[in-house]
Amino acid sequence: MSRARALVAALLVALVVAPHFLDRFWLQVGSLTMAAAIAAIGLTLLVGVAGQISLAHAVFVGLGAYGYIVLAAPSDAAGWGLGLPTPLAAIGGVTLAGLAGLAISPLSGRVSGLYLAVVTIGLVFIWQHALQEVEDFSGGYAGRPAPELSVLGLSLGESQPWHIAQVPYGGAEKTWLLSLAALVCAFVAARNIARGRPGLALAMIKENEIGARSLGVDVRRGRAAVFGLASLYAGVAGVLMALTTQFVTPQSFGFQLSTDYLVMVIIGGVASVRGAVAGALFVTVLPRVLGQYTDGLPFLARVGSGGIDANVLSVFVYCALLLVVIMFARGGLDRLLGLLVSSRRASAVVGH
């Protein structure tokens, strides 16, 4: 275990100093990955721990992102806005996503399994419809810019760069650090929930509903609560996404994003918080890096030429990985991490 702790500490230090050395592209990919990891952690609590499949995760991520923008931006030509202080707006965006998750508790509490999967697909389509119709809210196809965050006069955006050891820290660097802080909190909280009493109750609901009920677990409330919690995580991810990309469009919060999150959770390994992070890293980084280096990779065609381009190839790779994980290796990336982190003796004892 001590080796694992040392590795985690080294990784954390590396992530904290990373903005000092990375360029803008990598910083943005990193922040997006951390946002995706937070969303995936939320979904893994819902799908992995509680056994409830949801394809509506993108809706709550989108609510977080748009919630932040609408609360923070002043009303102008781009759409409605309340012009609140940005930290309040960020909290508001997260709360909005969480409340929306709780608001559908009559459904998420009662409907289960595959029925819930189909209902949540419906939520995605209804949400997309609403975004397209209410252009004052979403900015229509053109999308809306996200105001930069500033906490108590301290700007976390591009406008006032910090200078740390002669390196200017602009928006990308600051967002990286903010995302990292959020990810660490989200990770620790999720681990404690999954390992503590609530996690036990949820796992019980997943394995045996009647058994859970007879042991005094309120099944309906448990299901609704974990759905709300997952939405809260999604909301945090949405705010961070808006801050990273500084611009959001309705199309980015559709069905595909939902399936991406589900893929992250599954290839990460069932019910594993650190696996979800690994899955998010894989699914987020792969297409962007392949896209960035298309010119140097002879087997890749340009996007739109009809050949196998970066996006198509990364879809092939991550779907193949999904199939392999489901068919042969249920542990997924989590198991792989476990082999890396733990010493041989420990894995020989635990791993059979």
Partner 1 sequence: MDSLLSATANGLSLGALYAVMALGFVVIYRATGVLNFAHGAILLTGVYIASVVSQAHGYAPGALAGVGAGATVAVVAETVFLRHSKTRDHITLTILTLGLNILLVTEVSRRIGTHTLPLHDPIGNALTRFGGLTLPTARVLALVVSLVVITAFLLAFRLTRWGLAMRVSTADAEVASLMGVRLSVVSWTSWAIGGALAVISGLFLASFPAPGVTPSLADTAFRAFPAAVLGGLGSVGGALVGGILLGLAEAFAATYEGALGSWAHNLSGISAWLLLLVVLLLRPEGLFSARTVRRV
CA 182 – CA 273 distance, rounded (Å): 15
CA 83 – CA 12 distance, rounded (Å): 35
Within 329-348, which residues bind partner 1 (CB under 8 A)?
330
CA 103 – CA 180 distance, rounded (Å): 29
> If you search the block for the tokens 């949540």, which residue do you land on?
120
Smallest distance, partner 1 to C-beta of residue 297, A: 17
Would you call 240 exposed, middle or buried from its count of C-beta atoms within 10 A (0-12, 13-18, 19+)?
Answer: buried
Smallest distance, partner 1 to C-beta of residue 281, A: 19
CA 330 – CA 287 distance, rounded (Å): 24
**Which DSSP category does 153 fall into?**
T
The residue among 174 and 206 lying less far from partner 1, judged by its C-beta, is: 206
Among 6, 9, 13, 118, binds partner 1 (CB under 8 A): 118
**Binding segment toward partner 1, per CB under 8 A, in 32-40, 107-115, 168-176, 237-245:** 107-115
> If you search the block for the tokens 């952690």, which residue do you land on?
41
Among 4, 177, 315, 341, binds partner 1 (CB under 8 A): 315
Q: Residue type at 157? A: G
Strands 79-82 and 167-169, by their bridges, are unpaired
**Binding segment toward partner 1, per CB under 8 A, in 21-29, 159-167, 181-189, 321-329:** 321-329
Among 72, 73, 182, 262, binds partner 1 (CB under 8 A): 262
**Binding segment toward partner 1, per CB under 8 A, in 123-131, 152-160, 177-185, 186-194:** 123-131
Nearest to 150 by CA among 87, 92, 75: 87
| Backbone phi, psi, residue 196, to 5° | -90, -165
Q: Is 141 in the site for partner 1 (CB under 8 A)?
A: no
Among 15, 102, 119, 200, binds partner 1 (CB under 8 A): 119
Q: Give whole-number Cα distances, 6 to 13, 331, 335, 342, in Å.
A: 11, 23, 19, 11
Among 11, 75, 122, 221, binds partner 1 (CB under 8 A): 122
The residue among 10 and 326 lying less far from partner 1, judged by its C-beta, is: 326
Count of helix runs (H) and strand runs (E) in the chain: 16, 8
43-82 footprint of partner 1 as x/- string (CB under 8 A): --------x-x-----------------------------
Q: Is 121 in the site for partner 1 (CB under 8 A)?
A: yes
CA 85 – CA 204 distance, rounded (Å): 42
Q: How many binding residues for partner 1 (CB under 8 A)?
A: 42
* Cα torsion through 269, 270, 275, 281, rounded to 10: 70
The residue among 114 and 165 lying less far from partner 1, judged by its C-beta, is: 114
CA 283 – CA 108 distance, rounded (Å): 27
**Binding segment toward partner 1, per CB under 8 A, in 111-119, 172-180, 183-191, 285-293:** 111-119
CA 314 – CA 335 distance, rounded (Å): 22
Within 185-224, which residues bind partner 1 (CB under 8 A)?
210, 213-214
The residue among 233 and 318 lying less far from partner 1, judged by its C-beta, is: 318
Smallest distance, partner 1 to C-beta of residue 47, A: 8
Smallest distance, partner 1 to C-beta of residue 114, A: 5
The residue among 240 and 264 lying less far from partner 1, judged by its C-beta, is: 264
CA quadruple 331, 337, 342, 348: dihedral sign: positive
Contacts to partner 1 by CB under 8 A: 51, 53, 106-107, 110-115, 117-119, 121-123, 125-126, 129, 132-133, 210, 213-214, 259, 262-263, 266, 270, 306, 308, 312, 315-316, 319-320, 322-323, 326-328, 330
